[in-house]
Structure 1
């Protein structure tokens, strides 16, 4: 049984420690989309995967990847093994919009199948919570931030202003898995220009974060929908969670 053993303050302390000590560090998160990608031809058939609403949206160009994609599946499994912290949905999660069958029960099956046993785990929605906390942005203030996402320019403009006042060292526009190689090359070329990368690239973030940490020696965070909290498109509160 996977247990989310780190609270948000412990996650933040881990990020700060890596930044203060100039150590490579990555955090990834496993939600319904990541589960569906990794379920391909492992715990589920391709046919069953393609019946899911998330997969149908992906194949309409809305998720930054098209399925089937076994290469991405394998890259994600390897990346989870490399990540310093892995976020997982809590049992009985009601905070993310997806059918229960593609949430924590599917994560458990996938982790058993691939023998994934991350030592440090946290709640998969920690990114959304941190994005709305002053403490998170205080840790990042004075650091050089690299933004990797579809709307990188828009996010940069907001984060440079009050109340964030971030030092945005650069941006990389990323919207599709096909851009993976180019984005990693760009990031490696910029390794002396940033301290932390905030990555909001859907399921692709699971691959990008550990690989960026490895290539650059910097901190790389799967920021997920954290950017939507900044855009004020999502409000997020740390609600009490139902146990199961």
Structure 2
């Protein structure tokens, strides 16, 4: 059996590579969105042409990406104060997911207050958010990768992709293999993303040190700091 340090390193690299591919595709979505918004016209219908780009992103990642799209800054369009152009894979088909964007409604979805939207705007960099409970996902825990979309030196939208917790856990477990050690994949705030132990349920908080021996960061080239770490629990 390989030493645990070696297994942690290889597992961290595998997870990092899968996340890097998602962020690389979000850069493509970013560019396509910028090109559309730079063209004449200020209607939200312009974003419908992003569908082939989003479809490619959702289908090429082998189940890792559940949905993707862009959320625009307020006041950008003449026919909508806010707009959330988002598609999801449903039954093998890419389907546009409508959201209630009416502030007067009890089911109002204000994406501008979501962490996955706010953080890229504040940092000006790609971000990895979650796990958290999806607003419309029947208590489904998800992770969102997002990045700011800039046009003429101002942020006009956020491009994002919702990631499958099951797919992340599968990559984690396949690379980790059968181990006697209890290992958890945690976020920078200590939330558990995946583990090989019933002691650490996804979405709960990891109690214990987040660094030191037995701790390996998950490297993601597009991010300024490693957002996740692998931890061997005592």
- TM-score, with length taken from structure 1: 0.29
Q: Which has the larger radius of gyration?
A: 2
- TM-score, with length taken from structure 2: 0.30
Bigger helix fraction: 1
